[in-house]
Amino acid sequence: MDVDSTADGARLEADSDGVWRIAPAPPARPRRRNGPRLPPHERREQLLDAARVVAGRDGLAELTMQAVAKQAGVAKPVLYAIYPTAPQLLDALLRREHSRGIAQVLEALPADFDTSDPDAEYEAAVLAFLTAVRDDPVRWRLILVPADGAPASYRGLLGDAREKIVTRCMQLLEAGLARRGGPTDVDTELVGRVLLGFVESLGRLVLSDPERFPPQALRPTVRALTRTLPASP
């Protein structure tokens, strides 16, 4: 069979009997759409959102530039223009989620105990944190269970944030113990670290099995911890 093409892409095919027939042009391959043009800050957020989806679905080890570009619905050059390398993309994602997560923690902590019960405030703050973990497991898995693929600089960032939270817990402990009447011989730094480690462990339980460990089911455990610091008579 002889084949020729017309100007519009249609094909002229000659059968064995010498009769020429016009065959329709083959469909054009669809071009990848990059979506509407976005300002740089919006494009960054779009790409980080896509990276977050990939990390949550496949894990940090599978956070490739190709997978992120596909998830975002853009060509790879668009991604490379904002984040030239995969480590830069990963670093930006981890730092964004860390910043938002730590802001949630600090927001949940009470400002003072001037007109409130310290034990009730502590319980409410922990439940607010556990609810945040349940509602956004991707973010909190990156914070509470950093994978081997996380860069060392990110682990340092987590350590610095943890120290900041411990310091805030110590301040609240001192104010809370004074308001509830003791005990007075408490190492607030030690107790602050124990409380933070306890809360982090509860958060990991919520991540590992949210059906078995929903935040409300952990309330009695949270309440029991405050009873380990009895008030003075």
- Hey, what are 178's tokens? 């004074």
- For tokens 């989620």, the residue is 97
Instruction: Judge contact between 207 and 145, C-beta under 8 A.
Output: yes
- Hey, what are 131's tokens? 């609810």
pLDDT (mean) for 41-66: 93
Q: How far apart are CA 48 and CA 64, in angstroms?
A: 12
What pLDDT sits at residue 145? Answer: 86
What pLDDT sits at residue 228? Answer: 73
Q: How far apart are CA 121 and CA 176, in angstroms?
A: 9
Contacts of 76 (CB under 8 A, 6+ apart): 65, 66, 69
Query: Which domains are delineated in the chain?
Result: 97-226 (1.10.357.10)
Distance in angstroms between the alpha carbons of the first and the last residue of the chain? 103
- Between CA 139 and CA 129, with CA 49 as vertex, the angle to 5 degrees is 20
Q: Annotate 215-232 with DSSP letters as a single string.
A: GGGGHHHHHHHHTTSPPP
Most confident of 11-20, 113-122, 157-166, 220-229: 157-166
Per the model's pLDDT, the better-predicted residue between 109 and 49 turns out to be 49
Q: Is the pLDDT of residue 67 over 80?
A: yes
Q: Is the pLDDT of residue 3 over 50?
A: no
Per the model's pLDDT, the better-predicted residue between 69 and 5 turns out to be 69
Q: How far apart are CA 26 and CA 188, in angstroms?
A: 75
Helix orientation angle between 86-108 and 65-72, rounded to the nearest 10 degrees: 70
Q: Is the pLDDT of residue 11 over 60?
A: no
Q: Is the pLDDT of residue 130 over 90?
A: yes
